[in-house]
Amino acid sequence: MLKILVTGSTGFIGVHLLKSLVDTPYTIYGTNSKMGDIAVSGTWDQYPPADVVIHLAGKSFVPASWKCPEEFIQCNLMGTVNALNFCKKHNAKLIYLSSYLYGNPISLPIPETAGLVTPNPYALSKKMAEEACKFYANSFEIDVTILRPFNVYGLGQSKDFLVPLLVQQIKNGEDIHIKDLNPKRDYVYITDLVNAIIAAIPVIKNFNIFNIGSGESYSVAELIQLMQQIVKTNLNVFSSDERRRDEIMNTIADISNAKKILNWKPNINLEAGLTELLHAEA
């Protein structure tokens, strides 16, 4: 029976993942920030040996990365290096949850082979962590699978993110205030991401990268329109027309590799995912 170590087990993704792993034959050990700083190598000494590490822990809120880039690089890069050293020590495999790293793409949908762009310190930290994964895979023969989720949303996500912020405004019957209605994103529901992580466990081999998304994109305006249709509201929408620094205007994931190799595909479309969020109890 495989022993699996999950870092960041009390975070947004980690909570959903652990719930789903209960129904698997694996032995699961979850870690969280109360057990120590993942960027400190000694923190990892208290973790039990494992066959697979699913590394979710890290800093993820992009605006905060501009205020303290060194903290994001320290946590996301060194935390991943420590995860890799743990794998090296215990002959374990690694699933690393990365991020969207393609900037404004040249063409859509975006394959894993597209060039990487680091428009903010968060993206820089994730790219550096990916490079560490590739180095350890090539130099120390550690099997590593990197998952690059596009825009994840779902129950329990921080209201710092767009979808839960909109859900809150609509549930409160407030006017909807947003900065920019135009950017389009590929939204993937949390349970679909969790299913992709679980699907990757038995096929971790060598070094591979997979996009995890829906293969479709929606603008912020379309997102709001769909949400209002679901709950049958017609709230006023106000946009301040503020464009974020280095804003990405459209993303669509090419998920053909995940479908082929992981035997995975998204099951929750945007309407179904938003319906669950909008009808969930506060």
Q: Which residues of the chain have pLDDT under 70?
A: 282
Answer yes or no: is 62 within a domain.
yes
Q: What is the CA radius of gyration of the chain?
A: 19
Contact 194, 20 (CB under 8 A): yes
Answer yes or no: is 240 within a domain.
no
Answer yes or no: is 60 within a domain.
yes
Q: Whole domain around residue 67: which residue ranges? A: 3-152+187-216+251-267
**Cα(145)–Cα(130) distance, integer angstroms:** 10
CA-based nearest residue to 162, from 221, 120, 85, 100: 221
pLDDT computed for residue 246 by the predictor: 73
Answer yes or no: is 130 within a domain.
yes
Residue 106, burial from CB neighbour count under 10 angstroms (0-12, 13-18, 19+): exposed
**Cα(176)–Cα(110) distance, integer angstroms:** 31
Query: Is 84 strand, coil or helix?
Result: helix
pLDDT computed for residue 282 by the predictor: 61
Answer yes or no: is 282 within a domain.
no
CATH number where 86 lies? 3.40.50.720
Tell me the pTM: 0.96
Vertex 199: Cα angle to 44 and 150 (nearest 5): 80
pLDDT computed for residue 62 by the predictor: 87
Number of domains in the chain: 1
Answer yes or no: is 281 within a domain.
no
Answer yes or no: is 235 within a domain.
no
CA-based nearest residue to 239, from 176, 183, 167, 185: 176
Answer yes or no: is 171 within a domain.
no
pLDDT computed for residue 281 by the predictor: 74
